[in-house]
Structures are given as C-alpha cells and as structure tokens.
Structure 1
Amino acid sequence: MSDNGKTPVDFWFDPLCPWAWMTSRWMLEVEKVRDVEVRWHVMSLAVLNENKLDELPEEYREMLATKAWGPVRVVVAAAQEHGEEVLGKLYTALGTRFHNKGEGPTTAAVREALEDVGLPVSLAEYADKDTYDAELRASHDEGISKVGQEVGTPVIAVPGADGEQIAFFGPVVTPAPKGEEAAKLWDGTLLVASIPGFYEIKRTRTQGPIFD
C-alpha cells in the first residue's frame, strides 16, 4: 500500500504509442472507481526494438529512427530535473497533443505540452541529446523485465495477494472504458493475470484507437 492507503499501480509508457495512451486513459478511469493510485514510469519503443530492426517493416523502422527517441527523452529529462511527480501530467499533455489533437510528436507539440504543464520549454532540447539515456534505459529495463521482451508498451504491475507483483502488457482496448466498464475490465484483467501460467488472450484488432 502507498502512504495514502491506496494500492500502487506501476504503469510504463512511451508517449509515442497510441495504444498505450488508450490504456493510460482507462487507468485514470480505474483510479476513480477502485482504490488504486497510478505511478508513472517511462519505457521506450526505440530501446525495445533496437536489436530487431531487421525484422520490422521499413515504415516502422523509419518511425523509430525519426520520432521515437525525442519525446521519451524529454519526459525522462523532465523527471530527472523536476521530479517523478511531473510524469503523469506531462504524459497527459503530450498524449493529448500527439493523439487526441492529431498534432503528432513534433517539436512544436512537445514544446507546447511542456508549456501546458508549466515546465521549462528548454526541456525540449533534450530530444536530441543522450544526457539521460542511461536513466531511460534503466526505467525501460525495469518495466520490460517484468513481462519479457516479446511485448510492448504499456506494462502494468500491481501487488498481488502474496505481495509479489502481478505484471502484464496491455490491456489493448479502444475506446477507453469509463465508469463501471473501466472497473469491470480492471477486475477481469487482474483475475486472469494473477493465474500462474496464464499468458495470453488476444483477437485481431478491427479498428484503430478512438480518442475521446
């Protein structure tokens, strides 16, 4: 339990990923209907895929090379220089601009998101710097080590009944459920994820993320 008596839920995200964004908005809904508190952490699609680029489509490789490093580096720099507590609000500002408003991970969108939450716009300069890459990789490794290399972002971890963390990738869902639907998905996800030996439920995605 955290200091306020709520169950801590650790959530690893890359601000570039629209599906992680959908899951994060659902997680904020879960906070309203279950006694949990999200703790935000960074992971990286660029780091996740750096050793398997030859297996990826050319378009995705191009995206990783040109768009994936900058935003997550800025987020890590903000946390390092202004504290971990800025992660949630900065992620919301970035995701709202990248995904809901359709601005994409542009320099302008990053700078405006920083401004939206009262952080120095100069942090955007870290997009092209490896200053905090060691911290970025450490955070990424912490999250991905809980679920394995075959999945992506987001990763969620929550204390189990025995005190050990239950960790899983996803859930992948659109649109983000609200109210009782959010609670039902949370309860069900924890139920299946807590079963020893359970690994996967999946079906083909028939629509893209619905941002609302």
Structure 2
Amino acid sequence: MTTTSPRSGTTVADIWVDPRCPWAWITSRWMLEVEQVRPVETRFHIMSLSVLNEGREVPETYRQGMIDGWACVRVCIAAQQRHGNEVLRPLYNVMGRLIHHQKAGLGHDMIRAALEEAGLPADLIEAAADTSWDEPLRAEHHEGMDLVGSEVGTPVIHVAGPEGKPLAFFGPVLTPAPRAEAAGTLWDGVLAVASTDGFFELKRGRDRDPVFD
C-alpha cells in the first residue's frame, strides 16, 4: 500500500467508514469542512458493518443490508490494495453520493458507476463477490476499530494526541454537517474531550433522521 505524505504542519485525521452508513457519510462531509478551516488532512479507511455485526442479533430489516454491504467494501479494499490508499477518498466520495443522495443502492450498477467516475479500472468490480478480499478487509477494519472497542460502529477517527499518543474515538454522530467555522469549532471541541484522560462518552438520543445537504 502506498500513501501520500501530509502537508508540513498538518494534522492527519484517519477516518474509518463503511460506504453504506449514512451517519459516517455526514461525519465525513464535516471533516471535509474541517479541512478548509483547520490544518487537518483527512485520510480515509474502510471498516465493515457486516464484519462488525457478524454473529450478533440484528433486526431483520438490517440483516439484508449486512449481506448486500459486502460488495462495496470488498471493492474498496481491492482498489486500496492495488492502487494505494489515496484512491479511497475519491471512490468513497462517489459511492457515498450515489448511495445516500441518489439512492442508487449497494449493487453492482452503483459500484460500476462509482469506479468509472473515480477513474478506477472497471475490473475491480470482480472483487465484489470475491471472498479472498475479506482477509485484508478484516485487517483494515480491526486497525481502525480495535482501539475503540466493539461497542461502537462507524465513523471512527484516529488522530495524534498530546505527545504523539494516538487518540481514537467513535463519532461524532451529527446531522446535518456543520459548515465553515462551525465545523472547526466542533473539531476543536471533539479534540478537547478526546484528549481528556478517562473521558469515555457523551451522548443523547437522536431525534431526527440523517440530513444530506
């Protein structure tokens, strides 16, 4: 795997996402706003809700998504392994728009369209049904998730904390994505709580569905 080096003086924020998660999509849009107002560079990685929920009791309506969700994350991992981590950002951006804004589903038609728009080889679609990609997918998944535990989902963000020690946290889960300086203010606050030794959770019930704007 090859990755580009961050700009000098820039903080790298590594974010783990599953393309089918609407909440991760919104958080990723927030991170792109953060990049505009803070010296932050977002680096995308793939986790899998299908991997995360293996063996768990889930609602029947969610179970089909677990089955259908394997295809796009396998293709993402195949693209990463063959062409470098930097291709994940544009590929995820296209998949997210197709899935969440255009309601294109999780099938092969969506994946083919995403590969074409992201400028990636069409034959990557073959990874969708190829279980040999599950091993590197699981490795990528656990690289992101193991630092935060199994009781959370996506998004997960890793960033260097005080003295270079890694900070890893789930979220933030929010809707809609803050824009401009409001995005930067939230980033400052998230880092403040995540840097506090012994801080684990800040949560309230959700009272709205995801808003994609």
Match of 1:152 in 2: 153
When normalised by structure 1's length, the TM-score is 0.95
Question: What letter corresponds to residue 64 of structure 1 in structure 2?
Answer: M
3-state SS, counterpart of residue 132 of structure 2: coil
Deviations 1:55-97 (A, max 9, x none): 21111122212x1101100100111111111010000010010
Contact 1:9 1:156 in 2 (8 A): yes
Superposition deviation, residue 106 in structure 1: 2.2
Match of 2:72 in 1: 71
Superposition deviation, residue 3 in structure 1: 5.0
CA–CA distance in structure 1, aligned partners of residues 6 and 87 of structure 2? 18
3-state SS, counterpart of residue 39 of structure 1: strand
When normalised by structure 2's length, the TM-score is 0.95
Match of 1:25 in 2: 29
Question: What letter corresponds to residue 154 of structure 1 in structure 2?
Answer: P
CA–CA distance in structure 1, aligned partners of residues 212 and 176 of structure 2? 7
Question: What letter corresponds to residue 70 of structure 2 in structure 1?
Answer: W
Match of 2:192 in 1: 191
Superposition deviation, residue 131 in structure 1: 2.3
Contact 2:71 2:107 in 1 (8 A): no
Match of 2:96 in 1: 95
Structure 1 gap segments, 5+ residues each:
none
Contact 1:33 1:179 in 2 (8 A): yes
Deviations 1:131-175 (A, max 9, x none): 221111111011111100000011001101121111100100111
Alignment of structure 1 residues 29-48 onto 2, 5 Å = 29-48=33-52
CA–CA distance in structure 2, aligned partners of residues 118 and 89 of structure 1? 9
Pair 1:9-2:13 in alignment: yes
Query: Alignment identity in percent?
Result: 54
Contact 1:29 1:178 in 2 (8 A): yes
Find 2:60's aligned residue among 58, 76, 96: 58
3-state SS, counterpart of residue 144 of structure 2: helix
Deviations 1:2-47 (A, max 9, x none): 4532111111111111110000010011011110111111111011
CA–CA distance in structure 1, aligned partners of residues 194 and 112 of structure 2? 38
Contact 2:27 2:171 in 1 (8 A): yes
Superposition deviation, residue 209 in structure 1: 1.0
Question: What letter corresponds to residue 171 of structure 1 in structure 2?
Answer: P
CA–CA distance in structure 2, aligned partners of residues 205 and 18 of structure 1? 14
Structure 2 gap segments, 5+ residues each:
none
Question: What letter corresponds to residue 38 of structure 1 in structure 2?
Answer: T
3-state SS, counterpart of residue 132 of structure 1: helix
Question: What letter corresponds to residue 31 of structure 2 in structure 1?
Answer: M
**Structure 1 residue runs of 4+, over 4 Å off?**
none
Question: What letter corresponds to residue 64 of structure 2 in structure 1?
Answer: E
Question: What letter corresponds to residue 83 of structure 1 in structure 2?
Answer: G
3-state SS, counterpart of residue 193 of structure 2: helix
Computed over aligned residues only, the root mean square deviation of the Cα atoms, in angstroms, reads 1.2
Superposition deviation, residue 200 in structure 1: 1.0
